[in-house]
Amino acid sequence: MDSFKHFFKRWWGSKLAPFIVILLMAIALMSKQLLTHSVLLGADSIFHFNRFYDAAMQIKTGKFNYFQSNFGFDQTGRVVNAIYGPVVSYLSGALLILCRNWYMFQSVQAIIFLTIAGLTMYLLCIKNHVSRGYAMVIGILYMYSSQLMGWITTQQFAGVGAMLVPLLVLTGTEAIKKKRISIPYLALAMTLLIQTHIMSTIIGFIAVIPLFLVALLHTNHKFKMIVHTFIAAIITLALTANVWGSALELFGNNYLMPVFPVDNMEDYAFRFDHYSWFSLVKPVEMLVFLFVIYYFIRHFKRSDLITRTLTFTGAFFLLASTTLFPWQTLQKLFPFLSSNLQFPKRFLVIPFVMLLLVFGKILTADHHVLTLRAFNEPKLFRYALLFALIGVNMGINGYNMDFKVDKSNQMVANHYPWAPIAHAYMYVKHNHHTIKQDFFGDNWQYLIRDINKATPDYLPVKSNLQPDDYTKLHPYYTAHYQLIIPNFNNDFDKQVNADGSLTVSWKNKALTSKNVQVPVVKYANTQVTLNGKTNANVKTTEIGAIIAHSKVGKNTMTIKYVNNQQFNLLMIVFLISWLLMIIYLGAKLIFKF
């Protein structure tokens, strides 16, 4: 027994212990999915599966096109990955190749994302002098939070962005503590977020502004801090040249379909209803937030600068994520918010990071809070309370997953006849497949073809769409009718070429030539070759689908997105800057040991 205690004590003190604990807790959270062999499908599942499938097939075949989707999205040649988390897409594509089927891929990817989230939160706590044990607890609480579960159960990509937000907050707390900016780490934190999820980056950036302003006010080297921030911004631009370069390339030459505008933003805030309490902020999480705010008010004079800034900022964003905030008034004053921000609940990631960090600081600094002094071991009550917090969180997360798991099992048993996702259609019987083949087979295309969702985001349109124009266009229906249904008529044969172009063949069985709407998309820089004629003059529909003048008999059309030379230069900057960053981080790691 003594030897076991000695071994456990040594292991607990090792650097690997936090990683192993957080990894095991991530696996425990995913155990329901692992044991039932389920694939959880949410609102955005098929959209992201298409992204990852396209990246996987590019890697597997070596037929690369950075802009054009030649494998995913029904081989329509549309642009998605180039402006939506390109690095995460290709890393996920590589993981899909290793995992071989969607069930294994989704399970492993979720465990990786959860573990990263727990570790980034743990690191944030440790750097802010939260004791090691409490830092692990806070990391687990964050990993089990509704923000991360948004990715697990409904595949909302904001959940993936949330795993990296603690790194950005860390740069702000370090700036206050050290009264200086760490150039490489600020640049790296911003870069990782931009490469993952733009909206999470914007929200995170806004949230850390108060931290940097406080740091600037309290440093004696204000000009130096401003210069260092500017240098970090330049490095960030270099490290993310692929993302903003793609945006300039596309938005500079095209009008792109925006995300859907919400009619009432309050409907997508924390509404204090059943859905909000179980899916956005669980009751135990809200109790922690309210306790932190209450404790902060009671002990305001004793709180340090970092705690004050974190609590004020976290509390503000908590308020801004609810219906208590005047979102209807703001939406009338700034209509663009309905298409850009869309969901006020997105702000919740900030209180989850900042207020949980303050909670960890309170537990570390105050040895009497949340204890029962009448006991021989007063802190036992605190430990029991923390374990209860984790247990209740896990229980509610399990409850939320039950519905998804049950749906998955029904689909595998062929007892779920309709599409489980809004705006999606089931083509399982049409394709002569089974859901079991889709989930567990090694043909990744089956799932994204059998459960098909025509997400219209980033398709080329004729003009800058206003909310009313978007509604009149019926983009989900139009995209499904023009880009998906024609593929099921077996009239079009599609082949991906070695140079990253896509060739479509079809037969005009009429007696005369006629216009045919082909289920592929043309952007301003998409080069079209029709029946051997390069730069063919073709028309497009309201969502960019090509209308080709077809001769009698067989017709062949090849499309290839050809980016401008400026983008090629930006890609060189991107690659060189990442090489230098890796060398710098590697050198620091070597000299550290």
Of the residues 348, 366, 384, which one is the last residue of a structural domain? 366
Q: Are residues 238 and 274 in the same domain?
A: no
Non-local CB neighbours of 483 within 8 Å, separated by 6+ positions: 73, 74, 76, 78, 454, 519, 521, 543, 545
Q: What is the dihedral of CA 120, 124, 126, 128, to 10 degrees?
A: 180
- The alpha helices in 321-441, defined as continuous H runs, are 327-333, 337-340, 349-365, 379-412, 435-440
Q: Of 336, 366, 396, at which residue does a domain stop?
A: 366
Q: Is residue 49 part of a domain?
A: no
In a domain, 186, yes or no: yes
Burial profile 468-488: b = 16 or more Cβ within 10 angstroms, e = fewer: eebeebebbebbbbbbbebbb
DSSP annotation of 328: H
Is residue 343 one of the residues assigned to a domain?
Answer: yes
Looking at the structure, tell me whether residues 532 and 571 fall in a common domain: no
Number of domains composing the chain: 3
Question: Containing domain of residue 238, as a range?
Answer: 145-256+565-593
Kindly state whether residues 239 and 337 are assigned to the same domain. Answer: no
Q: Based on the fold, state whether residues 547 and 534 are members of the same structural domain.
A: yes
Helix (H, G, I), strand (E, B) or coil at 496: strand
CATH of the domain at 515: 2.60.40
State whether 543 and 528 are in the same domain: yes
Q: Which two tokens stand for residue 588?
A: 């620091």
Residue 249 domain-assigned? yes
Within-domain flag for 169? yes
Structural domain contains residue 228: yes
What is residue 322's DSSP assignment?
Answer: B
Query: Is 433 within 8 Å of 450 (Cβ atoms)?
Result: yes
Q: Is residue 300 located within the same domain as residue 341?
A: yes
Residue 550: alpha-carbon gap to chain centroid: 41
What are 123's two structure tokens?
């690191």
Residue 1: predicted pLDDT: 62
> Phi and psi (nearest 5°) for 454?
-90, 75
- Given 366, 396, 423, the domain boundary residue is 366
Residues in the chain: 593
Q: Are residues 295 and 199 in the same domain?
A: no
Q: What is the pLDDT along the chain (593 residues), one digit of tens a residue?
A: 667 777 777 877 788 999 999 999 999 999 988 988 888 888 889 999 999 999 999 999 999 999 999 999 999 999 999 999 999 999 999 999 999 899 999 999 999 999 999 999 999 999 999 999 999 999 999 999 999 999 998 889 999 999 999 999 999 999 999 999 999 999 999 999 999 999 999 999 999 999 999 999 999 999 999 999 999 999 999 999 999 999 999 999 999 999 888 889 999 999 999 999 988 999 999 999 999 999 999 999 999 999 999 999 999 999 999 999 999 999 999 988 888 888 999 999 999 999 999 999 999 998 888 887 656 676 788 888 999 999 999 999 988 888 888 878 787 777 565 666 767 777 877 777 778 888 888 899 989 988 888 889 999 999 988 888 888 889 999 999 999 998 887 689 999 999 999 999 999 988 899 999 999 999 999 999 999 999 888 999 999 999 999 999 999 999 999 999 999 999 999 999 999 999 999 998 888 76
pLDDT of residue 56: 97
116 inside domain: no
| 240 and 272 together in one domain | no
Going along 156-278, which residue ranges are E strands? 255-256
Residue 408, in any domain of the structure: no
Q: Could you give the 3-state DSSP secondary structure of residue 143? A: helix
Residues 558 and 571 in one domain: no
In a shared domain, residues 223 and 295: no
Cβ-based neighbours of 561, under 8 Å, separated by 6 or more: 65, 67, 68, 77, 79, 523, 525, 526, 527
- Asked if 409 contacts 36 with a C-beta cutoff of 8 angstroms, the reply is yes
Distance, in Å, from the CA atom of 451 to the CA atom of 41, rounded to the nearest integer, reads 10
Same domain, yes or no: 559 and 574: no
Residue 452 β-bridge partners: 425
**Cα–chain center distance at 56:** 18
3-state secondary structure of 96: helix
Same domain for 209 and 189: yes
